[in-house]
Chains A and B, each alone.
Chain A
Amino acid sequence: MDQLLINVLNGISAGLLLFMLSSGLTLIFSMMGVLNFAHASFYMVGAYFAYTLSRLVGFWPALFVAPLAVGVLGALFERTALRRVHKFGHVPELLITFGLSFIILELVKLVWGLSSMPFAPPDLLQGAAFTVMQSDAHGLGLAWGAAPAERCASTAAAVMHCSTFPATRFFMMVVALVMLAALWLLLTRTRIGLVIQAALTHPEMVEALGHNVPRVFMLVFGSGCGLAGLAGVIGGVTFVTEPSMATIVGSIIFVVVVVGGMGSLAGAFVASLLIGLLQTLPLTVDKSLVHLAENLGWTVAPGDLGYPLMKITLAQAAPILPYLLLVLILIFRPKGLLGTREN
């Protein structure tokens, strides 16, 4: 039970990280119609910037400075390159971000090298955030930090199980939730937020009312990239900071955006959590269709038709589950979970 709880929390934290990425992607897409192919690359740049900065000024300032720097880079790219191809249509816009993802990957390899960076979390985020304790006698218990050994030791009276939840993952959840709240407040409570919301649905009308829509575009693109950079700082410190980190999340966030519904922030949130859980939970299930068939009383032997497919365990199949979900969603609900646009 305690392990399951930890797994669910792991899934949720992975989902929240995905949301940090897909929220920026969705904002950019619904504002500008541009699918930012380099979004995951900005995520990676955020991690590398934070790594370098954390060695100079420490982790906590880097947490703020690195996303800002990534945001400025994004805005700069929008201003110099993306705006120029805007008049050619959506396909060149998508292609230029596609080309940028190549360039960023190569530059990162050039500056930081091919191996992974020793990006260690600061002391505060080392170790466990809390421990879930399960005992036969007292049920579930919770303790902040790593629980003392004597409390986890099984006694004659009760068998104890302790599972810890890493502090970095807890921090990931906190940052994502704070970001979610801040984004929601920004979009609903501020003037610029209202302009952005209006431009989501009626860009021409907003322009007609005298707002500088290109500048709003630049701002949105920059802040979207900044959010990706923030996710990168946390992703880098939690997982590994290496040149392949962009490709690992890259295609998943596109799945999130399609499953949630193109241009829907709420949809992106739901889909992120769903896919985060879908990626994490099956990893613990070492069962395949062969086991299911045996439970039903059928025997399947090697050499039978479809055996190679049936013997794949759920844990092995975990990487493809998000994509299967994508296909199913497209067949049964083409506009996505919470999407409103047909196209």
Chain B
Amino acid sequence: MAHLHEGRPRYHFKPWNVGRWVLWGLFALALFVSPLIWKTGFALTMLSQMGIAVIACLAYNILLGQGGMLSFGHAVYTGLGSFLAIHTLNMVADGRLALPVSLIPVVGALGGLFFAAILGYVTTKKAGTTFAMITLGIGELVWSMSLMIPEFFGGEGGIAANRVAGRPFLGITFGPQIQVYYLIAVYCFACTALMFALTRTPLGRMLNAVRDNPERVEFVGYNTQRVRYIAFMISGLFSGVAGGLAALNFELVTAEVVGANRSGAYLFFVFLGGAGFFFGPIIGAVLMVVALVLLSELTQAWLLYLGLIFVFMVMYAPGGISSLIMMNLRVAAFGKLRPLLGSYLALAGTAATILVGAGAMIEMVYHLQLNEALGPELRFMGATLNARGFDSWFGAGFVLVVGVAMFELTRRHFAHQWGQTQEEIEREIKRREAAI
């Protein structure tokens, strides 16, 4: 992102990159302060899961965003890391191994690295679509194995452990959730910093080159397969950290953690957050926990909503949420964001109208299909709908049609306005270049 600010050394006092220090400081502060703001036990579990998801999604993005490798089996590495971590935790609890509990995630990391080294050797032989299919196959292989070897994977019940093991250090037993949260926060910050540092190393740059133009990389004399393999192992390492932390956090690991659904979720939310920017997966991870925990509580149709959001995102904003943010930051940097705000409000309002109309209809169908026994009435956003009545259907349909029509009108207006703003910015850039 540094190239956006070239020629404008604002906030850049050499040798310190102040903007970056501020951002990382804010990130650390957010990790530190969040549990002090949201104090309930439920919020704390969610925050812990978010910390873990951030590491996992960033690790996934080493493959998807930085290496252009679309993996459908990423849960294998987080999941196997989890299993190794929980077995180690049990050994610590039995007194067979003297290891501080705070280092269990490192065991997970080594596990992730180990399996990425073995399985990645086969997987990274190919790039592109074939890579995607092989990761899918490997994922299925590990998933089927997990059902066959209950000694390691614990069968249906999974493997349980108690994280209060070994001698406490400075009174930290990891019994209370808050202590686990801060352990997760420390790991999360360290891993995020390390993964960001990776993008600045020659290896990170080479990985981008392998993504963009593998043929040319071969000409320069690098082995693309080896670059992919190393990146895959690094990704496995960090995934293992996430897996180890998850084992500590939940104290239970079931075969589900290596399943295709988990892998799909990583892909889904990293893409939604935006694979093109380093911070995209962080947004994706937060969304993932919110969606999997809150949305699934709120509505039975949440997978359908997620699928629809995903498809529309791929079609209209393939760069994810982070690309939308960066586009608007660019507009804001040129001081042209204010006139667009009205349109944004209108777009949000009409989109919400569509959501209400469509949501009401989807919920009514779901209600008819799944909760038939409870009678035709259901509650939707404070109103009582009758899934068998004409009025409810007509009302929902009317809201939907009005919403779609209004949205289309505002969208056309906005598209025009957006195009104009971009043209003005291009002109401005040309003018500045000419002035230099």
Residues on A close to B: CB < 8 A?
29, 33, 35, 81, 84-85, 88, 90-92, 94-96, 98-100, 102-103, 105-107, 109-111, 113-114, 247, 251, 254-255, 257-258, 262, 308-309, 312, 316-317, 319-320, 323-324, 326-327, 330-331, 334, 343
Residues on B with C-beta less than 8 A from A94 are 70, 129, 132
Main secondary structure of the interface of A (DSSP, over half): helix
Residues on A with C-beta less than 8 A from B401 are none
Which residues of B from 108 to 132 have beta carbons under 8 Å from A? 122, 125-130, 132
Q: Is the CB of B306 within 8 A of A102?
A: yes
Q: Is the CB of A254 within 8 A of B137?
A: yes
Q: Is the CB of B68 within 8 A of A323?
A: no
Q: Is the CB of B136 within 8 A of A251?
A: yes
Q: Is the CB of B144 within 8 A of A103?
A: no
Q: Is the CB of B315 within 8 A of A90?
A: no
A158-B310 Cα distance, complex, nearest whole Å: 66
Q: Is the CB of B122 within 8 A of A327?
A: yes
Residues on A with C-beta less than 8 A from B303 are 102, 105-106
Extra inter-chain contacts (5) besides given A255-B140, A320-B141, A326-B141, CB under 8 Å = A94-B132, A98-B264, A106-B301, A262-B129, A320-B144
Tell me whether B307 is interfacial, beta carbon within 8 Å: yes
Which residues of B from 324 to 380 have beta carbons under 8 Å from A? 362, 365-366, 369-370
Residues on A with C-beta less than 8 A from B128 are 90, 343
Q: Is the CB of A308 within 8 A of B151?
A: yes
Closest 10 CB pairs of A and B: A102-B307, A323-B141, A106-B304, A99-B310, A103-B307, A99-B311, A308-B151, A320-B144, A96-B314, A251-B140
A24-B121 Cα distance, complex, nearest whole Å: 30
Residues on B with C-beta less than 8 A from A110 are 301, 304, 362, 365-366, 369
B315 to chain A, nearest CB (A): 5
Using CB atoms, name the residue of chain A closest to B312: A99
What's the tally of chain B residues with a CB closer than 8 Å to chain A?
Answer: 44
A104 to chain B, nearest CB (A): 8
A113-B370 Cα distance, complex, nearest whole Å: 7
Given A88-B318, A106-B304, A258-B137, the answer on whether A343 and B126 have CB atoms closer than 8 Å is yes
A120-B141 Cα distance, complex, nearest whole Å: 33
Q: Is the CB of B137 within 8 A of A255?
A: yes
Using CB atoms, name the residue of chain B closest to A326: B137
A65-B308 Cα distance, complex, nearest whole Å: 28
Tell which of A81, A90, A312, A330 touches B126, judged by Cβ atoms closer than 8 Å. Answer: A330
Tell which of B129, B134, B148, B369 touches A312, judged by Cβ atoms closer than 8 Å. Answer: B148
Q: Is the CB of B311 within 8 A of A81?
A: yes
Residues on B with C-beta less than 8 A from A258 are 130, 133-134, 137
A327-B121 Cα distance, complex, nearest whole Å: 10
Tell which of B126, B311, B366, B370 touches A103, judged by Cβ atoms closer than 8 Å. Answer: B311
Q: Is the CB of A327 within 8 A of B301?
A: no
Given A103-B304, A327-B122, the answer on whether A308 and B144 have CB atoms closer than 8 Å is no
A110-B364 Cα distance, complex, nearest whole Å: 10
Given A251-B140, A320-B141, the answer on whether A309 and B132 have CB atoms closer than 8 Å is no
B208 to chain A, nearest CB (A): 15
Q: Is the CB of B144 within 8 A of A323?
A: yes
B91 to chain A, nearest CB (A): 17
Tell me whether B145 is interfacial, beta carbon within 8 Å: yes
Given A81-B315, A99-B310, the answer on whether A331 and B122 have CB atoms closer than 8 Å is yes
Residues on A with C-beta less than 8 A from B182 are none
Most B C-beta atoms less than 10 A away, residue of A29, A251, A319: A251
Using CB atoms, name the residue of chain A closest to B128: A343
A81 to chain B, nearest CB (A): 6
Residues on A with C-beta less than 8 A from B362 are 110
A250 to chain B, nearest CB (A): 9
